[in-house]
Structure 1
Amino acid sequence: MEAHETNVSQSSFTLGSGEWLSRLRMPGRHCLELVVSGTASGPDLECIAYLNAEVLPRLSVLVETAHRHLDEYVDRQKLFNGASWWLESVRVERGEDSRHKLTLELCIEEDPYGYWTVGFTYLDYWNKFWPSSFTRLQQ
């Protein structure tokens, strides 16, 4: 996937409360929402740079990792007739310690009113993202 060459800042618009949204068309799929933190005057340029340099080039690995992480806790066969997870959005925020926070938001067809998030922590020592949390939110 050549997603890391996409300039996500050109088509962004505000969601309010300092969040900015851009949509990235995925091959053969729906648009992927990319959400970055910012201010009322614009998105955080460091978050956009981080998204382009660190997250999008590793997106397929991150998605596979998120699937495995959720599958450790959620029995999709039993609860959702074996339906597959699919990526809805990627969120990059500036954390309180100035480090970036990465969250993938996923959906599953058999759970139409819920969406699931997997939060990642970047481990400098191993130069990789590690799933550190998950939640299910009701829409």
Structure 2
Amino acid sequence: MIIQINRNDIAIPERSTGMNLLTFLREELRLTGVKIGCGKGFCGSCTILVDHKPAKACQKTVVDIAGSSVLTIEGMANPDGTLHPLQQAFIDAGAIQCGYCTPGMVLTAHGYLMRNPNPTREQIKRAMAPNLCRCTGYQQIFEAIETAAEHYHL
């Protein structure tokens, strides 16, 4: 079985096909930007993109994503190593507090902006609702997404 993860084709060993996807990404591939949160799909800390759509890694097995394209936060940066404009917008807006929820927030926003590059604030709020931040309010997160949206019009 082959899965594309962060633009790389990964051959999945047979022993790993039934593994929880979150565990596989963190322990087998060392992609620790995928965070362990509630383990029940409620918090969004483990959000990744599967075929450009947000998915909770804690709720999937490796075999669930066979033949899919997966993006984790480790794959968001540009090939030259510079941050993606959305990542930079999160930094510039002060939308990173402790940072634990940030990878899931960024990926959820990225998936949404790819489908809707001109969202209203209300649409952003609805799109981000599956992701929880325990540190502070969400205003800086919403501002970062609004700022980054201009880069999705290309």
Ranked by relative contact order (alpha carbons within 8 Å, sequence separation 6 or more), the top structure is: 2
Which structure: greater helix fraction? Answer: 2
Which structure: greater strand fraction? Answer: 1
Structure 1 length-normalised TM:
0.32
